[in-house]
Amino acid sequence: MPRIVVKRIYEPPDTGDGCRVLVDRLWPRGLSREKAAIDHWLKDLAPSNELRRWYGHDPDKWDEFRRRYRAELDANPSVLEPLLQLIRTEPVTCLLFSSRNETHNNAVALAEFLREQ
């Protein structure tokens, strides 16, 4: 599997990013599409609104959030297909997120899920 990088979307794009994929359901606040420099926005790959609201970026809920998010991905594997197609063609895929928490967010959980597949 190609290397998967997780990066906060507010960080400037880097030449080593490869294909930049936003995996949040909501567009990041205060960021123009030009500055975001994304190649794809796969909002259907983000956690459901219900799960996102329940989690609320609370690190104490991290393990349960990952379990529930994986269950959502397992229940709807078709949402993964666009990303898997990109991963097959790009040497580096950069999963972008907007959360302030850089270690407990859906992009980190998604990257872990992909590496285990």
Reading the block at residue 68, the tokens are: 């529930």
What are the distances in angstroms from CA 84 to CA 30, 32, 56, 81? 29, 26, 27, 5
CA 99 to chain centre: 10
40 has a pLDDT exceeding 80: yes
pLDDT on residue 70: 97
Could you tell me what percent of the chain has a pLDDT over 70? Answer: 98
Q: Which helix (H) or strand (E) holds 71?
A: helix 62-75
- Mean of pLDDT over the chain: 92
